[in-house]
Structure 1
């Protein structure tokens, strides 16, 4: 049983999605007919981006670039479209061209960092976030994204420092974004075994956004670590109300019920967890949950 419990604790770390930068502003029109045509394609590309038609946006930005090889905004926006399509190498090429044409473009550096992050090149991602901060020391997105990269590099103290700076700079009206930051800072504290500090951050995140099932799950994990299984069950129940297919929440709640001596509910939740793991084709977790179920049933039979 201890092996699965350890596995489930490792599943508590749920990082938020990175913040995407908005499309760059269109260049001013000129009287040159070729430039006007390029800008018409550019505007069409921006409209496609707003409709989330990213492939069509790439095509329009490419036409704009064909007509104007120095169209920095077209490269920048095509980079963003490639990011949305998951074509990170192409995004790096376009954003690199953008900063060559406009070294002051913080959005391009931010997107470069995101593309490198998605490819697992955290050092390159951090270098680009450094550049954003150098150009604009108050851009909270760069600190936040750098914190995520530092977390993946297991530089947890550096990540905490960046999360703190993010919270100092984030606008007061960005409540959902602030909730993400508190959730991520909480998960980092959880990694560092600061369970009470993690719970405090998850409390703040939930106060700002009561609809994020991940935060309830993470707070439940922290409460399980300090053996507060009743509180963990309450949070896992809310998480399941928000996400009824959350296999990990069923599994963790089953473990919590077992710790409180409620074997019937424990077995019921673990069976639900196994069913959802199977539907999600997570065969490893499915088999481990079945093994735990078998072990608990054997113990219950022996006790009976």
Structure 2
């Protein structure tokens, strides 16, 4: 299982590692938030938003809409607020309302693209990001998010192209992605390269991810998966060990380190790792993970042990 910060509607299966869900991660809320306006419910909502009182902000933006106080702005700002509290259905509705009032309103298609992505509406998300990019052709975050949607929709080549465009537009004198965001970008690019069997390219960009954020266990795990796929089990073992040093509760890493140890003939070590994986999967309620760990443990207990 490749470890990425994405919300996935489904799962893409590879020979060794399968793509899974860890956490919702969508970069792109790059704007400081709603801009100040004249006093009234809209301004009250903006003040609440800036103090991270999102429930009050939503109420105030709703009041502004009812009172017809800069309705277009109120819909746009409430859309962004719904995004921040993970209510994408309402975000789509409000963004669409803002666009109906003003099809050229800045950033609203971008926000709606993020909401569509979170809902698993990948084609709609791609369409919104594409239209946003027509007016913001150097927006690295838009390319990155369009790449995420493309990958989730099975368009691996498009995802690779968009990730690379995001890298290009972030490699200027004033990069718009932070080092941690760039590390995430290289992680996702590495996964996409692996999905297209470009293993050396996957290793290269995962190396970059680690350089940018040595404390992120995902890059070590992902690189370990690629190394294992290449047959470089010692390198894979080292990466899995580093991933576990950073996140000792990651069940998939125990599972894959157990597979590597089994392949290297370290059956006691493999059993210990698989038992750890099973325990963590059970605590997570991950039935597929539990099934995988049990299969591996049964293989080790049988006279003829399968290697994989």
Q: Could you state the TM-score of these two structures normalised by the residue count of structure 2?
A: 0.86
The alignment status of 1:38 with 2:41, answered yes or no, reads: yes
Equivalent position SS for 2:215: coil
Equivalent position SS for 1:77: helix
Equivalent position SS for 2:303: helix
Give per-residue Cα distances to partners, 1:225-245, cap 9 Å, x unaligned. Answer: 011111111111111111111
Give per-residue Cα distances to partners, 1:197-240, cap 9 Å, x unaligned. Answer: 10111000110111111111100000000111111111111111
Measured at CA, do residues 162 and 227 of structure 1 come closer, stay the same or move farther in structure 2, by a change above 3 Å?
Answer: same
- Corresponding position of 1:291: 295
The alignment status of 1:19 with 2:27, answered yes or no, reads: yes
Q: Pick 1 or 2: higher relative contact order, CA cutoff 8 A, min separation 6.
A: 1
**1:16 Cα deviation from its structure 2 partner:** 7.5
Distance (Å, rounded) in 1 between the aligned partners of 2:295 and 2:140: 45
RMSD of aligned Cα (Å): 2.3
Measured at CA, do residues 284 and 157 of structure 1 come closer, stay the same or move farther in structure 2, by a change above 3 Å?
Answer: closer
**1:58 Cα deviation from its structure 2 partner:** 1.2
Q: Could you state the TM-score of these two structures normalised by the residue count of structure 1?
A: 0.87
- Corresponding position of 2:229: 225
Q: Say which is worse superposed, 168-177 or 180-189, in terms of deviation.
A: 168-177
Whose helix fraction is larger, Structure 1's or Structure 2's?
1
Distance (Å, rounded) in 2 between the aligned partners of 1:8 and 1:216: 16
Measured at CA, do residues 15 and 196 of structure 1 come closer, stay the same or move farther in structure 2, by a change above 3 Å?
Answer: farther
Measured at CA, do residues 223 and 14 of structure 1 come closer, stay the same or move farther in structure 2, by a change above 3 Å?
Answer: farther
**1:100 Cα deviation from its structure 2 partner:** 3.0
**1:27 Cα deviation from its structure 2 partner:** 4.8
